[in-house]
Chains A and B, each alone.
Chain A
C-alpha cells in the first residue's frame, strides 16, 4: 500500500524514469507503468518465490561517486550503469534508487524463449480439449515468447496421470502442471488452509493434497483461477464449455453478507432448453469486497437456480381446496383482494435473498394497505441499526489493515458464516494486524488470532468488560489500535442478547474513537446477502418477533423459508389466516399459502444487495427465465398497481430511482452510480491472465458504500447494554455450517456439493458426555426449546464448552432450534 510515509525511489525501466514506493518488486513496478514482465509462478497476491524463471530481466545500477554521491557519467555524458553479470528474476527483486531495468533485450528474450521451451518439453499438446484453452497464460506466453517448434523428442516426453481428483471439487492433470506452486502457496498464504503440498522432486515433482478428505478447504476453486495452465480444473465445469463461446455477466453471490462480486459465464445450452445457462461462476475483482477471491459455496452453488423443484406458475388456492395454476393477472388479483380486505392487518416477512428493490416494493405495498409491520428473516441477529450508525467507515478496505491495526471477531464462526471475511482477516493478521477472537467456543478463526478469549455461553455482551478486567493487555491493544474493525455475530445469543452484544460493540468503538473513519467500525456478521438492505428499507428481526407473537390476518412471505428454518414456525404460521408466498421453491410455507407467486432467483434477473459493509452493489441478468417466474419486486408492484397504489415500474433500475428518492441512505446509489468502475490493482483477466489469473475484470460496477451516521458526523450516543442469557443445565447453541442442507446444496440441486455436507451431528463436552454416558459416535436425541427432538450423532471432540452443546442448523430435513435454548441430550 502506498501511503504518504512510503519513500519513493527513482527507477529507470526501458530508458524511462519512474518513481515507485520502496519495497515494491520489479514485476509489480513494471506492471504499474504498463511494462509487461511475463510470469508463471509469481502472483501479486502472494510472496515471490522465483521458481519459474520466466521473469528474468537485465538489472543494473547507476554508479555514484562514493564520496560525493554524484552520479558518474560516461564519455558521452550519460550515467554510468553497472549491469549485473547474470539476468535477475524481477519478482524477487525490489525497486531501489538508481536501479535500471531492461524488460527486453537479446539476453532476456533468449532466456524467456528457453524457459517456455523447457516448460513445454513434457507439457501435453492438448490445448484443443483443455478447459484452460483460450484463457491460458502458458498458451498466451508460448505464442508471445516461445519457440515455434519443439526440439524435444516426442517419445521422450513424460507421461503422467491426467485425472487426479485432489478432492470432490478439483481435478489435477499432472501432465499439464508446470510446478509453479501458486495453488500450494494460495492455500498456505492466502486461505490459511495448508492442504496442498509438493511431493517428490525433480521432474517427478507433483502437487498432492495432504488433507483427509482431500483438498479440504472452502477456497479450493480459487486455485483454478490462478493456475497458469489447465492443471487444476473444477469437477463442476471441466469439459463443460469453451471460454470463447461464453459471455461473462457481472453478478453477485447472495449466500452471505460479504457480497462477493462474481461473474457468471453463460452460453445458450442444450441442457437448459436452449436458453442462456450459467456454466460456471468465478470471482469478479472488487478489491474492497472480495479482492479476486470467492468461496466454493458461491462458486459451485448455482445449480439450485435450475432446480426441477422451482415454482413455474402462479397458483391460487380455491376456497378450502387445493392450489391450482392461474394466470399472473388472476393470481395478482387474488393477492390484491386478500390484502385489500385485511383492514390493515397485514405483515411482511422477507428472507435473506430479497433484494433492495424487492424490499422497497414490499414496504410500499404494505404501507399502501396500512401496515408498517416489516419483518426480517431469520430473526436471529439484531443491531443492523447500530451498524448503520457506527459501521465501518466509508472507504474501508480490509486489505489496508496491517501493523498497528486490530480486528476483533466476536460471537461468530467467521469461517462458516462469511468465509471471505475469514480469509481477509487472516491476511490482515499476516500483515501485522492484531486479531482477537472472542467466542464461547473454539472456532477456526482462532488459528489466525493473536489472542483468543472465551466467554461463558450467552455472555458475549459482557466480554468487553471482562476483557478489560481479565486481559487488560489484550484490551489495551484494541483500545490503542490505529484502526479497529469489529466483526460481531450472534452465535449462542437470543435476539435480545444479540442486541446487547451489538450495543456493547458500538459502545466500545465509540469510547475508543474507532468510528466514522475508514477501516474502523462495526460489521455485523448477519445471515444472508442483504441484512443491511433489510435494515435501511425498514425490515427488522424485532418486527418478525412481533409478527410471530401477534399474527396478522395476511402475511406475505417473500423468499422466507420459515418452516425449514424454525421448528416453531408451523405453530405460529397456523395462526395466520392467509399466507401469500413469493418463493423460488415449493416449500412448506408455500404449501400453506392462499396465493403462490413464483419469483426469479438472482440468476434470472437484475437487482441490488447491500452487503455487510453497507456497500450497495448491483447484479445483472445472467440466465434465461424459468417458467413464468418474475422478479419479486415486479410481482409485488403488480399487486400494488391492482390495489390502485400506482403503476408498476418497468425495471429494477426505476425501482432503485424510487429508493434513492425516498431513502436518504441510498443517495448516490442509482444503477448508473453502482455501475461505475475504476482501475484496480492487480490487473486480472484478458491480457493480464498471466498476472492476476482468470478472475474477471470488474466491468459491472464496484458499488457504492452507504455512509454511516458516524461518517456523516452525526453524534452517536452510547446505549444501554441489556444482557440476556439463557439458563439451564445444558444449553443448545445452534451453529452455522457453510455447507448444509439449504436449497443450495440439496442433492437434487448439486450432487457435487451434497457430498461435502456433514451428516447431522451434535458436539458435546467430554465432561457432559461422561455425565450422560455418551460416547463419541453414539446416536443421541437432542431436544431444545420448541423444536421436535432430533436424532443425531454425538461428537465428543473438545469443540463444545462444558454445559453447552453445539447443534448445527440445517444439516437435516427437519428444523432444529433457530436460537439458543435450554435442552437435553439423551442416548438412544
Chain B
C-alpha cells in the first residue's frame, strides 16, 4: 500500500514550499491556464471532476461555486483553515509545506467566481503559520501571481490571512464569517446562505472552501477532470488525506486514493495497533461523528473502503474530514464519551439553547458517571438529553455533541454499566497522553 501525493508534494519534491521551487515544478501553471479560460469553464471543469469538499460535508465543490450570482460586483473566496475538528491536522501540513498550492487553488476559485479578494482564515493557534503564509503570499505577489493584473491577465485579486481567536465553532462557515468580520464567533441564521447576497462575508456572495479542497484544484485544472476521476471511486474522486491518531504505531497524515480500506490505512500505513493490541473502536471523523464498534483486528468491518459512500453505508458513521482516532481494547469508551463531551461543552458557542444547556448537562452527568456516583437511570438520562439536542439546534455542533453520547451508549453499553455502582475512578488508559488527557 502506497500513498499518493497530489497535495503533499513536499514528500516528493523537497522545498516545494518555496515559490521558485514550486514554479520550477509546474506551480502556478494551472492558474495561468485558468486565467486563459472563461470563469464558467473553470467551474465546469471542477464540477466535472466530482471534487467534493474535504472539510467534512463532502459537498461538490464546483456546484458550490456555481451558486455564486455572477451579477454581484463584489464577491469573496474564504479559505477555511480553522482546522478545528478533533483529530484533524492535515491542513496545517499543507500550509506549512506546500502553501503555494493552496494560494494557487484559492486564486483559481477566486477567478472562477470573479472574486475581488481571498481571505485565508486560520485558527488562533496557527499564528506562526499565518506569518509564514504572509511571506509566501508576498513571494507570489513578487512573481506576479497575487494582486493587480495576475500573470498579465488583467484579473485582480488580493489574498489576506486572518487569525481567529481559538474556537471550534469558527470552523463552521457562518461563525467563521462572523469571526472574520471581527464579531463574536457564533453561527448565523440561514438563509441567506453565504453564496447569496446578504449571507456571505460583509454581506457579499462568498465561497468558503477547506484548504485541502482548494489544494486539489490546481491538479484538476492541469490534468483535467477525467484524470482526477480515475483516482478513487465514482462518488469519491481523488485522494484524501487521513489524519490517523490514537492507538496506532505510526500516527500521521496519510494521503491515499479514496477507496483505500480502513485496514490498509491502519495496518499497512500506520503500522498497526499500538503494542500489537486489538482495536476496539474507531472515530472516523473525529469526536463529532458516530463511533464505530470494531471487534478486534480480524473484524471484517476493517475492510470497508474509505469513501464517503462506504463509510456511511457499512459503518453507520461518516467520513467527515477523515480524522481517524483509533481506540484499542484498553480504553474505556465511557471515558472517551466523557472526554469528547468535555470538548463540546467547552466549544459550544452558547448561542442556542439545546447545545449550550445540553452540553453542560451531559458533561456534569458524565462526570458523576465517571466518579461512580451515578445511577443506571443516569445513562438513560444522558442518552435522552442527547437525543433531545439532535436536529433542533442552530448549527451542526448540537448534533455533533449528541453523537458521541448516543453512539457510545448504543455501541458500548457494557462500558457504561461498569461505572454504575462502582464508586471509584477507573484506571486511566495507558495511552491517555496520546488521546489528549
Q: Chain A residues in contact with chain B, CB under 8 A?
A: 48-54, 56, 86-87, 89, 92, 111, 114-115, 117-119, 121-122, 151-153, 156, 158, 178-179, 197-198, 200-205
Contact = CB atoms under 8 A, between A and B. Distances in A.
A119 B392 contact: no
A49 B356 contact: no
A121 B354 contact: no
Contacts of A87: 391-392
A153 B368 contact: yes
Interface stretch (B33-41, B143-151, B357-365): B357-365
Given A122-B357, A152-B361, A153-B368, A198 B184 contact: yes
Contacts of A156: 361, 364-365, 368
B362 to A, nearest CB: 11
A87 B391 CA distance: 8
A201 B351 CA distance: 8
A157 to B, nearest CB: 9
28 contacts: A49-B351, A53-B392, A56-B392, A118-B354, A118-B356, A118-B357, A118-B358, A118-B388, A119-B353, A121-B357, A122-B360, A153-B364, A156-B361, A156-B364, A156-B368, A198-B184, A198-B186, A200-B350, A202-B346, A202-B347, A202-B348, A202-B350, A202-B356, A202-B359, A203-B348, A203-B359, A203-B360, A205-B349
Nearest to B357: A118
Contacts of B354: 53, 114-115, 118
A178 B356 CA distance: 10
B92 interface: no
Interface string B174-187: 00000000001110
A50 B353 CA distance: 10
Nearest to A93: B191
Given A203-B345, A203-B348, A151 B381 contact: yes
Contacts of B356: 118, 179, 202-203, 205
Contacts of A204: 350
A114 B360 contact: no
Contacts of A56: 392
B435 interface: no
Nearest to B367: A156
A179 B351 CA distance: 7
- Please list the 4 inter-chain residue pairs (A to B) with the smallest Cβ-Cβ separation, ordered nearest first: A205-B350, A118-B357, A156-B364, A203-B360
A50 B364 CA distance: 26
Contacts of B393: 53
Contacts of A205: 349-351, 356
B167 interface: yes
Among B169, B346, B360, B381: residue with most chain A CB under 10 A:
B360
B394 interface: yes
B4 interface: no
A57 to B, nearest CB: 12
Contacts of B167: 201
Nearest to B185: A201
B189 interface: yes
B392 A50 contact: no
Nearest to B344: A202
A179 B392 CA distance: 17
A666 B74 CA distance: 56
A665 B317 CA distance: 76
Nearest to B391: A86
Given A51-B352, A202-B350, A203-B356, A121 B189 contact: no
A179 B364 contact: no
Interface in B47-69: none
Given A51-B394, A156-B361, 16 more contacts: A53-B354, A92-B189, A115-B353, A115-B392, A119-B353, A121-B357, A151-B385, A156-B368, A179-B350, A200-B350, A201-B350, A202-B346, A202-B347, A202-B348, A202-B360, A203-B350
Among A178, A197, A201: residue with most chain B CB under 10 A:
A201
A453 B166 CA distance: 44
Contacts of A53: 352-354, 392-394
A202 B388 contact: no
A111 B392 contact: yes
B228 to A, nearest CB: 33
A166 B175 CA distance: 27
A775 to B, nearest CB: 35
B419 to A, nearest CB: 16
A146 B78 CA distance: 42
Contacts of B358: 118
A381 to B, nearest CB: 42
Given A111-B392, A118-B358, A198-B184, A178 B353 contact: yes
A114 B346 CA distance: 22
A201 B189 contact: no
Interface string B365-396: 10010000000000001000100100111100
Contacts of B184: 197-198
B189 A48 contact: yes
Contacts of B186: 198
Given A56-B392, A198-B184, A51 B351 contact: yes
A592 B359 CA distance: 71
A134 to B, nearest CB: 24
A256 to B, nearest CB: 34
Nearest to A206: B350
Nearest to B387: A114
Nearest to B187: A50
B20 to A, nearest CB: 43
A48 B352 CA distance: 13
A698 B356 CA distance: 37
Contacts of B360: 121-122, 158, 202-203
A51 B394 CA distance: 7
Contacts of A115: 353-354, 392
Contacts of B351: 49, 51, 179, 205
A51 B353 contact: yes
B249 to A, nearest CB: 36
B189 A50 contact: yes
Given A121-B357, A202-B359, A114 B388 contact: yes
A259 B345 CA distance: 49
A371 B394 CA distance: 71
A48 B391 CA distance: 19
Nearest to A50: B189
Contacts of B185: 201
Nearest to A85: B391
Contacts of B350: 179, 198, 200-205
A86 B169 CA distance: 22
A665 B274 CA distance: 93
Contact of B357 (A54, A86, A89, A203): A203
A178 to B, nearest CB: 7
Contacts of A202: 345-350, 356, 359-360
Contacts of A51: 351-353, 394
Among A121, A158, A202: residue with most chain B CB under 10 A:
A202
Contacts of A119: 353, 357
A268 B377 CA distance: 52
B365 A50 contact: no
Nearest to B368: A153
A233 B220 CA distance: 61
A115 to B, nearest CB: 5
Interface string B330-350: 000000000000000111111
Interface string B309-346: 00000000000000000000000000000000000011
B345 A50 contact: no
A626 B90 CA distance: 78
A129 to B, nearest CB: 23
Contacts of B357: 118-119, 121-122, 203
A200 B348 CA distance: 10
A54 B184 CA distance: 23
Contacts of A118: 353-354, 356-358, 361, 388
A122 B356 CA distance: 11
B381 to A, nearest CB: 6
Contacts of B346: 202
